Amino acid sequence: MKILVGIAFILIIGSLASALVFLMRDKGRSNRTVQALALRVGFSILLFVLILVAHRLGWIQPTGIAY
C-alpha cells in the first residue's frame, strides 16, 4: 500500500511539474497547462478514493495519532 501511495504522489508531482514547464514554454498559447493540471486533480482524487477504499477493506489501519 505504501508503494501505491508513493507512486501516486510521484505522479501528482510530475503532473504539476509538467504543467509548470508547459506554462513557461507555451506562454498561454495552448491548453497543455490546463490539461496537466486537470490530470493532477484526477490523480489526487484517485489517491483519495484509493485511501478510502483501502481503509474500508482493512488494508490500512488508523494509528490514533490525529488526536
For residue 1, name the pLDDT band (cuts at 50, 70, 90).
confident
Contacts of 21 by beta carbon, 8 Å cutoff, 6+ apart: none
pLDDT value of position 67: 60
Put simply, whether the predicted model's pTM sits higher than 0.85 gets the answer no
Give the cell for residue 57. 477493506
Q: Who wins on pLDDT, 64 or 39?
A: 39
For 22-61, how does the pLDDT look when each residue is reduced to its tens digit (9 = 90+)?
A: 989 988 788 889 999 999 999 999 999 999 999 999 988 8
Give the cell for residue 67. 488526536
pLDDT value of position 66: 63
In whole angstroms, give the CA distance from residue 45 to residue 51.
10
